[in-house]
Structure 1
Amino acid sequence: MKKELGIFLGLLLALTMVLAACSSGNSGESENGSGSSDNAEGSDNGDTTLEIFSWWTAGGEANALQALLDGFESANSDIKVENAAVAGGGGSNAKAVLATRMQGEDPPSTFQVHGGAELFQWLEADSMEPLDDLYEENGWTDIFPQKVIDMNTTDGSVYGVPIDIHRGNVLFYNKQIFDEYGIEPPKTFEDFFAAADTLQENGVTPLALGDKDPFGSSSLFETVLLGVLGPEDYSKLWTGELAFDSDGVREAAETFKKMLGYINDNHSSLAWQDADQLLVDGEAAMNVMGDWAEAYFVSKGWEPNKEFGWTATPGSQGSFMIVNDSFGLPKGVENPDDVKTFLTYLGSKEGQKAFNKLKGAIPARTDVDMSEFNEYSQSAMDDFKASDSDGTLTLSLANGSAASPGFLNKFNDAVNIFVTQQDVDQFINALTKASSQIK
């Protein structure tokens, strides 16, 4: 595993050097126009800056992060904070920069990471401090859902504080377009293809996709896997109990191929939020994306159940694909006490409300009053609780939780090739060959 991790980090280092060369003339500005620095500057009183590292730079997610930082600074005026978000790549740019810094023993004060395999890679590299003391001091073991705690725990210790719970298997749609053509939210793949045919016949792009970054098409395919296989068999893919050359995976690949016949022609030049914008502009009717897309729609002035609607992706009614963002304490930082102060605020009711009301996610805490959240978030919390109680929560691969980074890289490559060539046999063979790296 350590050898695999070293290879993975080395590849990320090479990618980072290429990215740096390509962006040397952009003055360090992120996509939302705010510059960010890779290294924390000392504060006026000689203390180090608390550097918050993430890839939240688009639409509602940037607003949510700023609300979190503003709330923290208001409560802790003696601690200087830097928003060190890195834009682009659906998070891949930030992860490449992070890998370089961690290898160079220059970690940020704390960084965004998905609970599960993405976090565990840093534990394999012995790069994180345990946070059991914070959990005990704040009573978090009884407040965060056990599934989320498990995504941040290994060998009996917990290493991440969850800030949110996102749902990965959501189909969003433009309500005006659906109403115009008398389309009901599709619950099955049969429903989806019937709606897509109606839309296409009327000159509307049925499904918006932005896969400029591998994340876009991989996110779509994993929801197809969930819809075809169901939550139990979907989860068996990540334990090795179900093979990638099984009949169910092949059926999912055929279904995915059919869905690709209804996407926008310019998908490969668009990021995930650009695909969302196609719905806002009325150029496309549907989009499959995690519910950070909901925050993007709201940031554009749309209201839930007014301009846009939502449903679980086809076939996945009753299942909840969980995406969890957490922050931890890297080893070797100069200001560990400040980091723990930030993590304590991040895990508080106040911090979770400030962030998640703008992020499109639901709080990781189970004791937050949801009455102040919008209709979408309230419905997401209800769906999460239902899935948590009946065991239909599933992990997202595209968001780094279900399997190792090494496998995810090969999965992304296979999906991207498939989107272009649409050769099912080649696709299944590539996934089967890569599956030895799942763990």
Structure 2
Amino acid sequence: MAYEGYLDLGGNEVVNNARVRAAASAYGIAFGDCDPCSDMLPEALCGEEYATPDTGDQAPWYDPTRPESARFLGVFGLSVTGLSSNPVARTPVELPGDGALLGPIRRTHREIAYTVQLLALDQSALVYGREWLASVLRGDVCGTDGCQGAEMTFFASCPCEEDCEGLTGRQELRVLCDVGLLEGPTPGTDDNALIALSAAGCDSAQSGACGPALAATCDFTLVAGKPRIVHPAVRTAPTCTTLHLGDKLPGYDPDAAIAKCPPPVADCLVDPLCAAPPLPPQPPVPRDPCYPTGAFNAVRSFLSVDATCMADWLDHVPVVEVYAGNKALRRMTVRFHMNPAALPCAANVDPCNACVDLDLPYLPAGSTLTLDGRVQRASVDCTTATPVLFGARGTAFSWPTFSCPSGFCVEVITADDVDTCAYATVDLFPLSDAA
């Protein structure tokens, strides 16, 4: 069962039981002791230390222009559902005779329901906390989050108490993509339940109030457009390559190399003595004018992923970043090659056997191209437009998913005029259907 005590949505911390416990303790309030997992949260989150909202590591909701924000102590997670289920659907089609055609399995959206408790020192701070929670769950309505959603980060279970392979609990971090608010937040049944505040809290000048604290329960539901749960990237080496140091390929022509590929193997049921009927002439394939053709001087670099780094029972998707440096990159090709024997990449690349071939004619200077297999989306950070990607010889591009731990090589080819700061990176993310 996923841990309910931490939630980050779009880079904004929403739920953090450790932060709430620390703030409550500063005012003498015994709160949240029933959650032992929160003791491990600070270390798992890079050793953060928590105090009152307006001191030390300031709370995400603190606003110096709103004094009541310092008296709101945070959002404490009570329960979460929807992360352990596998959201799949299948629609069988009944046959005229007996039985049915099963049809394909497809993954539907995922709904995640949270029940949380808001803790505040007085009524005005509680009202502010509700306002802040509603705002942060709504997301960045001025940006792409309004339609596409944002990344949601949570823990699949309690963070490790000990150093787990050098990651101190972060191997339990999970990410859902394209997440947005579906419903809420709505008040719970035990709204405005009172919690006694100790004398130390009454004497504190920071609280701005003396008396009972307020704890209010509320519910909200998030929806993930991409239902698969993303694990932390597997650790491979090297994960980055400097492009200008690659192999020089004078007179390289990618289309000519693919044109030499042998035809596909005929089906075993085709009789070699029975000639196939002639096909009608095919209409010419329209060629996008932005797709470059012909030979050019190229430079080629490699990135590799070892099969021993890949999980046996999970799918894996790559996230590739290419930085252009101070010069534009032109005629860029990114190819994925299976490499089960862990051979040197330079000896194991054949365009005829590539899993995926991606071509980008132009990447502006100073920009970064991100090919995110988690959401099957490409972006360039200098624009909100989606870059035009091509497959081999200008065909449609398809996103790679690696279902078997066989290892692979990533081949990056660009025109030879490459800036010394240009580089490419690749990270491999396992995917699961439940947490």
Structure with more of its chain in helix, by fraction: 1
**Greater relative contact order (Cα 8 A, min sep 6): structure 1 or 2?**
1
Structure with more of its chain in strand, by fraction: 2
TM-score of the superposition, structure 1-length normalised? 0.25
TM-score of the superposition, structure 2-length normalised? 0.25
